[in-house]
Amino acid sequence: MSSAAPGVRGWTDAATPLADVRTALRAFNAERDWARYHSPRNLAMALSVESAELLELYLWSADGGPQPPVADRGPRVADEAADVLITLLNFCEAAGVDLAAAVDRKLAINAEKYPADRARGRLEKAEEL
């Protein structure tokens, strides 16, 4: 993995299983001996930091204006989004979370909480519907 140039895998959302991403990330971290720093607590904090770096790219955007507001920030959006996902996957690894199973479960919970016939196009919380 260390000899691979950025983007050489040709991964896409449509064609790459999450398990492959997790396996590659696990190997990347092992090559650098970074797992020692990856406690759930530290990674939860890092997730907040990485999310804030993504959010910063949109700081001061007008609702109807360009997103992000400065054109030069656009190319950084994908990198920051990748940092968020990498940190989230590291968190899941350290906390023993099967992310796909957790998303599947949460979608089922939310489907009950927000039935489409009552929630479609609405912004209220479940208890406000």
pLDDT tens readout for residues 64-97: 999 999 989 988 999 999 999 999 999 999 999 9
The answer to the question of residue 2 being in a domain is: no
pLDDT at 1 over 90: no
In a shared domain, residues 112 and 64: no
The answer to the question of residue 85 being in a domain is: yes
Average pLDDT over residues 97-114: 97
In a shared domain, residues 35 and 89: yes
Structure tokens at 10: 């040709």
- Number of structural domains (the chain) is 2
Query: Tokens 């906390």 identify what position?
Result: 95
The answer to the question of residue 12 being in a domain is: no
CA dist 116 and 87 (Å) reads 32
CB atoms within 10 A of CB 24: 16
pLDDT digits (tens, 9 = 90+) for 23-45: 999 999 999 999 999 999 999 99
In a shared domain, residues 71 and 115: no
pLDDT at 7 over 90: no
pLDDT at 4 over 70: no
CA dist 98 and 87 (Å) reads 14
In a shared domain, residues 83 and 35: yes
From residue 24, alpha-carbon distances to 9, 30, 80, 94 in Å are 10, 10, 18, 15
- pLDDT of 6 reads 57
User: Which range marks the domain in which residue 104 is found?
Assistant: 98-129
In a shared domain, residues 88 and 116: no
